[in-house]
Amino acid sequence: MLTIAPDIEVLARFGRALADPIRCRILLTLREAPAYPSDLADLLEVSRTRLSNHLTCLRDCGLVVTVPDGRRTRYELVDARLGHALDDLRSAVLAVEGDKSCPDAEAKGCC
């Protein structure tokens, strides 16, 4: 059963999903149009296994959904507003010192 996540949890899940460059690329690609895993793997030049792990993370974070399409499964953003949020984040200006990294940059994992 799907539930609606509270505001803080939504932000935390979104942040975890964006913490990996491959997941960012997947989300930006899905922002343009739904896609099949094999096509995403080829487009992003990652193995299907690696892509599958990232898609599972994005699904677990609640950002993408699967849509059965005959014998295949298509992935798409769960809400079109996520695409707008990605656009807004990409255009945001950050104040970053060149020799500093995020304290959590070493932390791995997902939702």
Please list the rounded mean pLDDT of every run of 10 residues in the chain (111 residues). 70 88 96 97 97 95 94 95 90 70 57 52
pLDDT at 40: 97
pLDDT of residue 52: 96
14 CB-near residues (< 8 Å, 6+ apart): 61, 63, 85
The pLDDT, as a whole number, for residue 93 is 67
Q: What are the chain's domains?
A: 7-90 (1.10.10.10)
